[in-house]
Structure 1
Amino acid sequence: MSGTPPRPRRFPASMPTTGGTPQDRLLRPQAHLHQIERERRVQSVPQGVGLDSPRVRQKMVERLKADGISHPSVLDAFLQVPRHLFVDTALVNQAYEDTSLPIGLGQTISKPSVVAAMMQLLCARPGLGALGGPGSGFRPDRPLGPCLEIGTGCGYQAALLACLATRVVSIERIRELHVKARQHLDAVAPLMGRSLMDVRLVHGDGMLGHAPSAPYHTIIAAAGGAAVPPAWLDQLAPGGRLVAPVAVSGGTQVLTVIDRLADGSLKHAQAGVVLFVPLKSGLS
């Protein structure tokens, strides 16, 4: 009828004329599933919080200096190793605080200040002179020499030790942590070059040490028992030093330092109260 205005056409719809090409104004289809998965993996890696910046690690190093850590090689190791890549994503924003963090299965990653203090004790051992003779293989840039670590955990301390040792043998009794540590070390290896090439991870009973690679110039333990296992002492080289937490009366743990003198005798000392997970035998 002539009195009824014509209805506007709905199809085909006309393109708006606000600028740009028609292709720019078309809605994008839903992303393919493989693209979504790729983006999810990228987003699961901590980003946008500056944790990859050397400045973040530098602040941690400055705190270590304020706590009395002065050995340049120890400080440089903490500057090199990205701690946030060894902790769970949910805790990544706490990675560079001076605190221990859970890594699952009842285990923790130790406080940076405690790890640094133990490493500095290893570097300052009096037996360095005896180990530095001709044919000893001692390298001033690798003051830890062959090093045995008891309790790999997430692998962070092993990475630090690798910066100062000629070889690191690290033992973990919990298979799941042993596997996780390998994954972490493989992930950071491209960032650290050759430093991590001489780290051997062993799934084994840490209380037995690792005799096939003995003797060790340095031994460090991340778990404390009622006494230092005899196997550790047997595997400590003359001129070497062992640093480990040991439980005393009342359940308190003290950091115990044992030097094997040139004549084979042992010298014991203590270096303060600490708190570590209990030392256990067997595998899981």
Structure 2
Amino acid sequence: MSWQWYPGHMAKARRLLRARLALIQLVFEILDARIPHSSRNPDIDQLLVGKARIVVLNKEDLAEPRATRAWLRYLQEEGHPALAVNSLTGKGLERIEEVIFRVAQPGRTGVLRGMVVGIPNVGKSSFINRLARGRVTAVGSRPGVTRGQQWIKVNPRLELLDTPGVLWPRLDDRGVAWKLAATGALKEEVIAVEEAACCLLSWFQTHHPEALAKRYPFVPAGASEEWLEELGRQRGFLLKSGAVDLSKAAVALLKDFREGCLGRFTLDQVPLDKNE
């Protein structure tokens, strides 16, 4: 699974991010709590050298709590404060202002300017909206909704620069690619949706088969492809020929996962050498 996907607005966002860093004192790096490793741009450390940073694990309500705690410890050991939040409800943001002004040069005067960065569809706009206590930026469930850049006045002491997600130009790590697809960071128009669904199924069959059995009233034998075909048959996703529409079945499975219908799960595990 090797997908080439680097739309023009992504390349532009990367250039703008570099250009605007001189204006910034603080960076919020937004990650998906279900895939903290896979949703992290591998260039982020190089891009943000010398900038104060707070790492935010968003969508914590969809991730496994124990795994989230392990990831928070891991990220904090890297030297950056880390928070697990649900930007839709505000859970986890109670101490955010205290953390902000502790990290970004205590005692400084004037307006603190920050930047919110992350790959598509990790909840950057929802995070800003929650901080600003209002719907101040475009929010959507599809990756790439935030196309431009704008300053958001959070309070008299803090302004945030919203930036479009920056995704690396080549996805040749199969494990990373299918997790991004499963969580919705990649558009379904440009990915192998059936392959992503089968990878997700294989993960559940290995790690949490009970979650599949609880959600779906059938026990198909065989590989994930056969399981997906049975799901399509059960849901009535049939083509005119009578064959199962595997694409619709794949989309249905991914939708169930993304909405938490299968439960709370974290697909990325903390590296063993740091998970003590």
Same fold (TM over 0.5): no
For this structure pair, what is the TM-score category when the shorter chain's length is used for normalisation? 0.3 to 0.5
Larger radius of gyration: 1
- Per the normalisation by structure 2, the TM-score is 0.33
- In terms of fraction of residues, the more strand-rich structure is 1
